[in-house]
Structure 1
Amino acid sequence: MPVSRIIPPGGAPRRLALAQLANSVGDGAYYVCSALYFSRVVGLSPTAIGAALTLGWALGAVAGVPLGHLADRRGPRGIAILMSLVTGAAVASFLFVRAYPAFLVAVCVYACAQCGLAAARQALLAGLVEPARRTETRAHLQSTVNAGLALGAALGGVALQLDTEAAYLAALAVDALSFVVAAGMLYRLPAPEGTPAGERPPGVGRLTVLRDRPYAVVALLNTVMLLYMPLLSVALPLWIVRRTEAPGWTVSALLVVNTVSVVLFQVRIASRVSGLDSASRSVRHAGYVLLLACLVFACSSLGASAWAAAVLLLAAAVIQVLGEMLLGSGSWEIGFALAPPDRQGQYQGFYGAGTAVARLVGPLLLTALILSWGFSGWLVLGGLFLAAGTAMGPAVRRAAARRDESPAVRGTGPRPAPGSGVEPTTG
């Protein structure tokens, strides 16, 4: 496979990718080690950890919009650097906190800064990369993130194997340092040019996205599709262990299939998306594919053979990651194209809140649905994917029409040039 399919072109895209690579390496180590560190070293119960994470991500989902708005007003590069440093400081504080109130505050700061960083980084990408290349660049970043997570997870695995306080502290220190390194890389990027968000037409409020109902519908449908995230990290491991005869190594194998596939093929799939029409079609196809994946996952519980179950699970994982990549390719284009040019920060903060919401409600919803209902639960989940994917096209057309008709939504920034890949959908 050509290297260009994985490594983004030089300039701003490559520097953005390097910054996210640094973040993701640290995050990979953090995700693998944090739960055991908080329970074994800090001495917290699983219930206390879960409650803190739930509160933190709930606040993060809310904080993304105002922090994105701040990026619009003050510049996305500066806010991205600030949020990266705040995230690093929050992770560093985990090395020292031993009391639950301090831990709760640190988790909330961490989650809010992460959501603010995501919004500012998306706004920075939109400001530095021309519209026709944004989805491709975002695909490069996603490939980079998966590669970094895999490397970081390997480092975290070493800490798990050693199972000592020093090893866990080292893994978290790597994560904290990674955000400082990322901030330095973001500092080397130029500040985007464009109309300041403070120059608004008369009657246009500050947080326009909160009154943009068509965009909210699009974001809600995207959130439903993002339920594949807790499916992979929470529901599937429990399903494999409790409801199938597959060997334990299948859980790791599915994660490897997912990570490697995104690294190798995400950019290729994203190259087929060039505007709202093709983006809506990609999300619709993702709904079909994710429904099929749910059906195959459900079938993995029907047989008594461990190897048959493992083969079905691996086949379903291949189908699922195809749906994931189709969704990402279409979703990124939609999120960028429907946002006013001078308000990308607040719109990306709102759109990106779907990730926090999926992580917040997804584990409980999916485990109850799949583990309690079994085969029929998978059918319900697949139906949700199909319904959301099918509804995305009409929702995008309505949001695009409102964007073109309303000055408050259209924004004060320059309109995309014809042929740029962000034309309104027709028909």
Structure 2
Amino acid sequence: MTTHRILPPAGPARVLASAQLVNSLGDGAYYVTSALYFTSVVGLAPERVGLGLTLAWAVGSGLGVPLGRLADRRGPRGAAVLFALATSGAVASFLVIRSFWPFLLAVCVYATAQSGLAAARQALLAGLVEPGGRTAVLAHLQSTLNAGLAVGAGIGGLALYSGTRSGYLAVFALDAVSFLVCALVLARLPGVQPVVVERGSALAVLGDRPYALITLLNAVLLLRMPLLSLGIPLWVGERTEAPEWVVSALFVLNTVAVAAFQVRTARGVTSLGTAVGAVRRSGWTLLASCAVFALSAAGVPVWAAVVVLVAGAVVQVAGEMLHSAGSWQIGFGLAPDGRIGEYQGFYGTGVTVARTAGPLLLTALLVTWGVPGWLVLGGLFVGASYAMGPAVRWAGRSRPGNAGSGLRRGPRPRTPYDPAEPGSGARVNGAG
């Protein structure tokens, strides 16, 4: 896979992708080792680790909107650098934490800084990339993220294999340094003018009912995230004859597929109309993946169960990429100019809702109900995907002359980051 398959054309978008790649390397290693580090090395009870992480992400999610507003008003580049540095400091503090309360404080800082960094990055991208090119750039960023996570997970696997305290500490040091380097890379970007917000309009997103509905529907579709990390592992262990190592293989398949094909999948999503269509297709695709996964418990031999699970994962990642492309366009397209950070901070709470409610819901549906649970889950995906169209039209009507016009299919806008623009450099990624 060449650099151009992952990174966007030279310019601010490539700098953003480089920053994403650097910190995703550290995060990939952190994600696969952190739980065992806190339980096996630090000595915290698993229940306390789970409680601490749940509380931390609840706090971080709640602060996402005001932190996004801060990025809008103070300038997203400076805010992104600040939040990256705060994340680095939080991860570095894990090296010396030995009890629950310092752990809780550190993970709250970590989750809050991560939420702020995500919102500031989106505001920064909106200030540096023309609207018609944002989904294409986000597709590159997602590919970069997955490539970095895959490599980082391999590094973390070495630490797990060693099973030593020094191995775990090296992973945390790597993650802390990765966010420090990320801050330095982000500082190279051009500045984006802060927004002067009119008095009395604080946190307007909280009163934007159409956008709130869209965020909720997106959260339902984001249940695909805990499906991969929790639902399928539980299903494999409890309901199928497949070996447990297949879970790791499915994770690798997912990250590699997104890194290779997300840019291609996002090429045709250039307006709210095409975004709604992509989300609708994602609902049916995710339903199909649920049906395939359910077949793995049909009393088939081990090899057949593995083949069915792999087939389900292939269909699932296709639905995931369609949803991602449509979701990005909708989230950006309906955010008012000057409030990108605030609105993206709110839109990002859908991830936290899915990760918080997902474990309980998926356990009940898949482990308790079995095959009918898979069909119910697929029905939720289809229902949310079809409800997205009316919700986007409602939101468009409340934004006359702005987002509403994007619901009509028309000529594609040309921008320096349009993947269909001849000579843009995006065609060398094999997406056309």
Scaled by the length of structure 1, the TM-score of the pair is 0.93
Where in structure 2 are the equivalents of 1:394-413 lying within 5 Å?
394-404=390-400
Match of 2:277 in 1: 281
In the alignment, the residues of structure 2 paired with residue 99 and residue 305 of structure 1 have an alpha-carbon distance, to the nearest angstrom, of: 46
Match of 1:393 in 2: 389
Q: Would you say how many aligned residue pairs link Structure 1 and Structure 2? A: 410
Deviations 1:220-269 (A, max 9, x none): 10010000000000111111111101122211111121111101110001
AA aligned opposite 2:373: G
Deviations 1:111-146 (A, max 9, x none): 111111100001111110011110000000000000
Match of 1:349 in 2: 345
Flag as ranges the 4+ runs of structure 1 deviating above 6 A.
none
In the alignment, the residues of structure 1 paired with residue 140 and residue 74 of structure 2 have an alpha-carbon distance, to the nearest angstrom, of: 27
Contact 2:75–2:195 (CA under 8 A) maintained in structure 1: no
Match of 1:413 in 2: none
Match of 2:126 in 1: 126
Task: Tell me: CA distance 1:165–1:63, structure 2 relative to 1, closer, same or farther (3 Å).
Answer: same
Alpha-carbon offset, residue 183 of structure 1: 0.2
Deviations 1:18-47 (A, max 9, x none): 101111101000001101100011100110
Alpha-carbon offset, residue 192 of structure 1: 1.8
Q: Does 1:262 align with 2:258?
A: yes
State the secondary structure of the residue aligned to 1:234.
helix
Task: Tell me: CA distance 1:419–1:199, structure 2 relative to 1, closer, same or farther (3 Å).
Answer: farther
In the alignment, the residues of structure 1 paired with residue 401 and residue 158 of structure 2 have an alpha-carbon distance, to the nearest angstrom, of: 56
Alpha-carbon offset, residue 5 of structure 1: 3.6
AA aligned opposite 2:359: P
State the secondary structure of the residue aligned to 2:219.
helix
Q: Does 1:179 align with 2:179?
A: yes
- Among 375, 378, 397, the alignment partner of 1:379 is 375
Unmatched segments (≥5 aa) in structure 2: 405-410, 416-432
In the alignment, the residues of structure 1 paired with residue 29 and residue 315 of structure 2 have an alpha-carbon distance, to the nearest angstrom, of: 27
Deviations 1:127-170 (A, max 9, x none): 10011110000000000000000010000000000001110000
Where in structure 2 are the equivalents of 1:159-198 lying within 5 Å?
159-193=159-193, 196-198=194-196
Match of 1:425 in 2: none
Alpha-carbon offset, residue 419 of structure 1: 5.8
Contact 1:22–1:181 (CA under 8 A) maintained in structure 2: yes
- Among 339, 343, 346, the alignment partner of 2:335 is 339
In the alignment, the residues of structure 2 paired with residue 128 and residue 314 of structure 1 have an alpha-carbon distance, to the nearest angstrom, of: 39
AA aligned opposite 2:173: A
Match of 1:23 in 2: 23
Task: Tell me: CA distance 1:3–1:159, structure 2 relative to 1, closer, same or farther (3 Å).
Answer: closer
In the alignment, the residues of structure 2 paired with residue 335 and residue 156 of structure 1 have an alpha-carbon distance, to the nearest angstrom, of: 33
Alpha-carbon offset, residue 97 of structure 1: 0.9
Where in structure 2 are the equivalents of 1:231-380 lying within 5 Å?
231-380=227-376
Match of 2:424 in 1: none
Match of 2:408 in 1: none
In the alignment, the residues of structure 2 paired with residue 384 and residue 209 of structure 1 have an alpha-carbon distance, to the nearest angstrom, of: 26
Alpha-carbon offset, residue 405 of structure 1: 7.6
Unmatched segments (≥5 aa) in structure 1: 411-417, 423-427
In the alignment, the residues of structure 2 paired with residue 192 and residue 354 of structure 1 have an alpha-carbon distance, to the nearest angstrom, of: 26
Contact 1:131–1:421 (CA under 8 A) maintained in structure 2: no
State the secondary structure of the residue aligned to 1:247.
coil
Alpha-carbon offset, residue 62 of structure 1: 0.6
AA aligned opposite 2:119: A
Alpha-carbon offset, residue 191 of structure 1: 0.8
In the alignment, the residues of structure 2 paired with residue 184 and residue 165 of structure 1 have an alpha-carbon distance, to the nearest angstrom, of: 29
Scaled by the length of structure 2, the TM-score of the pair is 0.92
In the alignment, the residues of structure 2 paired with residue 404 and residue 45 of structure 1 have an alpha-carbon distance, to the nearest angstrom, of: 54
Contact 2:73–2:197 (CA under 8 A) maintained in structure 1: no
In the alignment, the residues of structure 2 paired with residue 111 and residue 220 of structure 1 have an alpha-carbon distance, to the nearest angstrom, of: 21
In the alignment, the residues of structure 2 paired with residue 384 and residue 421 of structure 1 have an alpha-carbon distance, to the nearest angstrom, of: 36
Deviations 1:290-344 (A, max 9, x none): 0000011111101230011111100000000000000000000000010011000
AA aligned opposite 1:324: E
Alpha-carbon offset, residue 421 of structure 1: 8.4
Deviations 1:385-415 (A, max 9, x none): 0000011111011111112289xx99xxxxx
In the alignment, the residues of structure 1 paired with residue 202 and residue 414 of structure 2 have an alpha-carbon distance, to the nearest angstrom, of: 27
In the alignment, the residues of structure 2 paired with residue 159 and residue 285 of structure 1 have an alpha-carbon distance, to the nearest angstrom, of: 40
Contact 1:57–1:357 (CA under 8 A) maintained in structure 2: no
AA aligned opposite 1:259: T
Contact 1:230–1:362 (CA under 8 A) maintained in structure 2: yes
In the alignment, the residues of structure 2 paired with residue 47 and residue 32 of structure 1 have an alpha-carbon distance, to the nearest angstrom, of: 18
Alpha-carbon offset, residue 2 of structure 1: 7.3
In the alignment, the residues of structure 2 paired with residue 284 and residue 232 of structure 1 have an alpha-carbon distance, to the nearest angstrom, of: 20
Alpha-carbon offset, residue 3 of structure 1: 5.4
In the alignment, the residues of structure 1 paired with residue 55 and residue 365 of structure 2 have an alpha-carbon distance, to the nearest angstrom, of: 23
Contact 2:270–2:412 (CA under 8 A) maintained in structure 1: no
In the alignment, the residues of structure 2 paired with residue 248 and residue 217 of structure 1 have an alpha-carbon distance, to the nearest angstrom, of: 38
Task: Tell me: CA distance 1:199–1:59, structure 2 relative to 1, closer, same or farther (3 Å).
Answer: closer
AA aligned opposite 1:104: L
Deviations 1:88-119 (A, max 9, x none): 11111111011211111111111111111100
In the alignment, the residues of structure 2 paired with residue 364 and residue 156 of structure 1 have an alpha-carbon distance, to the nearest angstrom, of: 27
State the secondary structure of the residue aligned to 1:341.
coil
Where in structure 2 are the equivalents of 1:96-175 lying within 5 Å?
96-175=96-175
Aligned-pair RMSD on alpha carbons? 1.8
In the alignment, the residues of structure 1 paired with residue 78 and residue 220 of structure 2 have an alpha-carbon distance, to the nearest angstrom, of: 32
AA aligned opposite 1:48: R
Contact 1:294–1:381 (CA under 8 A) maintained in structure 2: yes
State the secondary structure of the residue aligned to 2:338.
helix
In the alignment, the residues of structure 2 paired with residue 390 and residue 99 of structure 1 have an alpha-carbon distance, to the nearest angstrom, of: 47
